[in-house]
Amino acid sequence: MILDAKRGDIGSTAEQYAKEAFERYGADAVTLSPFMGFDSITPYLKYEGKGAFLLCRTSNPGGDDLQAQHLADLPGQPAMFEHVAKLAQSPWHTNGQLGLVVRATRPTRLSACAP
């Protein structure tokens, strides 16, 4: 079961959210917002055999507000969602537990999030 929680917090709060997702609700995986950094993801990765899906490229119209923005004002710089996808491949992908939430409403753009 995937708990579509879209959590993203730091420190002891993230630890409690992870405990709630995996121990209380018995989820096999959870959706997370990566925008607070790797330390907000690590409490979930401590649960062996459990997974986490990072919000990368969502289908809601407001997702473009951040996800489609480029990281620098230079040609060739990746959009935020491309950067999140790269982080999820490595260095954040330390133990095979990370996946991505990627919209399927524009199939031609899915390849931008693929390894």
CA–CA separation, 7 and 66 (whole Å): 17
Q: In degrees rounded to 5, what are phi and psi of residue 27?
A: -70, 150
Spatial neighbors of 96 by CB under 8 A, at least 6 apart, are none
Q: Count of CB atoms within 10 A of residue 54's CB?
A: 21
Q: How many residues does the chain have?
A: 115
| 6 is an active site residue | yes
Kind of pairing, strands 51-57 and 98-102? Answer: parallel
Asked if 100 and 58 count as a contact pair (C-beta separation under 8 A), the reply is no
Residues labelled as active-site residues: 6
